[in-house]
Amino acid sequence: MIRRVGITVSAALIASASGAVAVAPGTAEVRDEAGAVVAAFTGLDAVQDAVSSVVTGRAPEARPWTILVGTGTYGDFAVATPNLAVAADAGAAVVISGVGIRDDTGGGCVAITRGNVGVAGLTCSAPSRTGVSVTLRNSEGGVSLGSLTIDRAGEHGIAVTGGRGVVITAPTITDPARDGIHLALLTARTASPITGGAITRAGRDGLRLADDVRGVSVTGLSIIRAARYGIASEDAGNSDASFSGVTVTGSGRDGVLLGGGTLRATVVSSTITGSTGAGVRLGEASGLRITGIPVDGSNAGGDLVFDAAVRTGGAYDGLRAPDGMFALVGEPAAVRVSGVPIARAAVVAGGPAGLARRGPAVMVGATARVAGRRVVLRFPAGASVYRRSGGWTPVAASRRVRGAVQAALGTSLLGTARSVYASFG
C-alpha cells in the first residue's frame, strides 16, 4: 500500500535517521535529498517496496535519498541502487526477518550491490543465510553499516566481497553459524574500518580476512568464544591490516592467527586471553608488529606462538607479562612464549643470592624438534638473564645491549617443555 504526504525535514535530521514527525509503526517512508517525504509504504514488504520506488521514481540516481523505517517487523530487502540510506527512525525498534511475502536476498536480511549505501539501526533476526551481505564492483565503495544487530545467522553475520571503503560501526553479532564478519576481495587502497561492537559465539571465526583483503583497520571490537579463531588472516593476498584495542576471549583454537603469507599486519594494545590454542599464532608472514598485548599465561597453547615458518621484518615489543615488560628480538621460530600467571608466582619466587629480579618471568619452549629454532629475549633492566632449572642458573649468552639485557636461546636451551627466564641484577 502507498500513501503520499508532504512533510519536510532538514538534511541534518535525515542524516541522523530522525525526523520532525516520527515515522508511524509498520511504515517505511521515502524522503528526497531535501527531506521531503516522497512516498510511504506499509505491509510486510514495506522496506523493499520503498527501495524499489526509489529505483523507479528518482532521477538522476546521484540524488541522495533516505528511507526511514518505523517500529515493526519486516521482510528482507536488497539495495541495487546507489546513494541511498536505509535507517531505523529515531527510537524505532526495526526487525528484518523472514516474514516478507517475497524473498529478495536469497535467505539473508539485507543484500547491498551498489556503492554509497548506508544501513543503520536495524536488527536482523535468524536469517537462513548471511545476515547482511555486501557485494560490490572494485570501482564502488562508500558502504556504511552502522549499529546493526544480527542474531543467529545461518551463515555469516556480515559478509563483504569486493569494493572499497566499506565502513562497519558498532555491530552486535550473536551466534552466526559461520564467521561473525567475513571479508574478501577488498583489494583497493581505500581503508575499510571496523570500529567497536561485539561478535559472540561465532560457529567458525569471529573475524576472517578470507581472500585478498587490504587496508582493514579494526578498533575496539570484542570477539567472545569463537569456535575456531577469534581473528584469522592466512591468505597471501592479505596486507596492511591493523588491530588496535581489540578484545578476544575464549577462542576454541587461537585468539589471533596471522599466517599464509600475510603482509604487514599489526596487533597493538589488544587483549587476547583464554584461548584453547595460542593467544596469537604467527605463521608465514612479513612485516608483522605485535606490541602492547598481555602475555599472562591465560592461553592454554601459549600466549605467543611462532610456527616453524618463514617470517621477515617483524617487531615484537612492549609485551606485558603480569610483573613487567619485555620484548623479543628478531624472528623467533618454532617457539612458544607465555607469561607466568600471578596464581603461579610461587613457582618463580626467589633468585640468585644477592640479586634482585629486574623484570618479568617468562616461559619459553620449543613447539617442535626442528633445526634452527631460536628466540632472543630482551628485558629493560638487569645485569644478566637467568634460567630456572631447579634453582636459578645464568644464561651464558646473556649480555647488555643498549641499556637492556638480552639472551639468545638456541637449541641447547629450548626443549619442548617450557622453561622460565628472568633478568636479575
Q: Is 318 left (phi over 0), alpha (psi -120 to 50) or beta?
A: left
Q: What is the dihedral of CA 56, 59, 61, 66, to 10 degrees?
A: -70
The 10s digit of each residue's pLDDT in 351-402 is 898 899 998 999 998 887 666 667 899 999 999 999 987 789 999 889 999 8
For 405-415, letters b (16+ CB in 10 Å) and e give: bbbbbeeebbe
> Looking at residue 205, what is its pLDDT?
98
State mean pLDDT over 287-296.
96
Q: How confident is the model at residue 13 (pLDDT cuts 50, 70, 90)?
A: very low
Domains of the chain: 1-90 (no CATH), 105-293 (2.160.20.10)
Between 121-130, 272-281, 382-391, the lowest mean confidence (pLDDT) is in 382-391
Burial (CB < 10 A; 0-12, 13-18, 19+), residue 199, is buried
CA separation for the pair 8, 175 (Å, rounded):
40
Q: What is the pTM of this model?
A: 0.93
> Looking at residue 346, what is its pLDDT?
80
Pair 186, 163: CB distance under 8 Å: yes
- Confidence check: pLDDT of 267 > 70: yes
The 10s digit of each residue's pLDDT in 34-44 is 999 999 999 99
Say if strands 384-389 and 324-333 run parallel, antiparallel, or are unpaired: unpaired
What is the percent of the chain where pLDDT is above 70?
94
The 10s digit of each residue's pLDDT in 68-120 is 999 999 999 999 999 999 999 999 999 999 888 999 999 999 999 999 999 99
- Confidence check: pLDDT of 413 > 80: no
Concatenated DSSP letters of 170-210:
S-EEE--SS-SEEEEEE-SSS-EEEES-EEES-SS-SEEEE
> Looking at residue 397, what is its pLDDT?
82
Count of residues making up the chain:
425
